[in-house]
Homo-oligomer: A and B are copies of this chain.
Amino acid sequence: SEVKKIAVLGGDGIGPEVVGEALKILKRTEELYGYQFETEHGLFGGIAIDEKGTPLPQETLELCQGADAVLLGAVGGPKWDNNSKELRPETGLLGIRKALGLFSNIRPANVFDCLKEASTLKPEVLEGTDLIVVRELTGGIYFGEKFRREGANGEEAVDTCVYNVQEIERIVRQAFDIAMTRSKRLASVDKANVLETSRLWREVVNRIAVEYPEVELEHVLVDNCAMQLLRRPSSFDVIVTENMFGDILSDEAAMLTGSIGMLSSASLGEGSFGLYEPVHGSAPDIAGQGISNPIATILSVALMFRLTFGYHDAAKSIEDAVKDVLDAGHRTGDIAVDKSSAIGTTAMGDLIAAAM
């Protein structure tokens, strides 16, 4: 098979360490399955600000544009928090999404058996929770016009939330397609009782629903969804929503599984290209100590194999290996009950690679 090019952006904090373990998994996949990967590293986020004066250097963008997929660690840290907008890591994140046309963020939120107890929800409520949040990623209030102006009552700030039919259609169609591969249930989340963008959203969803008669569709208001995720998490299958609501709800959903340190995500555009990253952040407080948990990043590689490369055999092998290593009782500090027996980042990576 052809060589797959992967742009590797370690980023900040624990990003480079966890990505390092994911690279081990790529190497192991080559040995076991004969697939071939060409990886190239790029500067992104805070480290790119420090070294290149911008969170998303042109050469990093070009590296990604020339790749089949991007593997990202995490960006950000207190060091850059008070910078002006152009010099903040998250500006790079928003920039790369827009520049690569990654309009869809996919976050599976499932419960790891060994972490059931880690959730703050009661186990019986959590039982069977396995949902996916499909979040629109390049539109809405994130990318609309923003400015300050003098108003009648002093300075005012303005953000604009804009959605067009085409932007809504492509994300909604993708969500229906994903629902078709699962339990065929889709919850579309909006605030149609208040927002014009939500009313357009709902119209488009209803129009596209006709093409998917098998999918059971429910419209849920965003405030109600924030409640229902708590009340009946296992009743959700696929949730599709706009950018800002998706930001909030996908974090809520991830947290309620208790497995947030283990969850991976994909950001997709048209075609098979995708950017893959763990849901957790850059955890600057534990960076460089070799104690971070690489599993979410390793599972992001499995997601990349499934969604971008169609390497389902290797993806399954990674997922099974993670399960086996956890079942055998190995834990990094973040998920260990007995912290004294916790293993480090590289030990965890080695064990998973060996278990494949």
Chain A residues packing against B (C-beta within 8 Å): 88, 90, 94, 120-122, 125, 141-142, 144, 146-148, 151, 153-167, 191, 193-197, 199-201, 222-224, 226-227, 230-231, 244-245, 247-252, 254-256, 260
Cross-chain contact of A227 among B90, B163, B251 (Cβ < 8 A): B251
> How many copies of this chain are found per oligomer?
2
**Inter-subunit contact B159/A197 (CB<8 Å):** yes
**Inter-subunit contact B161/A159 (CB<8 Å):** yes
**Inter-subunit contact A158/B197 (CB<8 Å):** yes
Cross-chain contact of A164 among B155, B231, B249 (Cβ < 8 A): B155
Which residues of the other chain, B, contact A125 by a CB distance below 8 angstroms?
120
Which residues of the other chain, B, contact A224 by a CB distance below 8 angstroms?
251
A92 → B minimal CB distance (Å): 12
Which residues of the other chain, B, contact A195 by a CB distance below 8 angstroms?
141, 146, 157, 159
**Inter-subunit contact B159/A164 (CB<8 Å):** no
A348 → B minimal CB distance (Å): 23
Which residues of the other chain, B, contact A148 by a CB distance below 8 angstroms?
196, 200
A165-B158 CB under 8 A given contacts A196-B147, A231-B255, A255-B226: no
**Inter-subunit contact A226/B248 (CB<8 Å):** yes
User: Apart from A120-B230, A157-B201, what 6 extra A-B contacts exist at CB < 8 Å?
Assistant: A146-B195, A159-B197, A161-B161, A227-B252, A227-B260, A248-B248
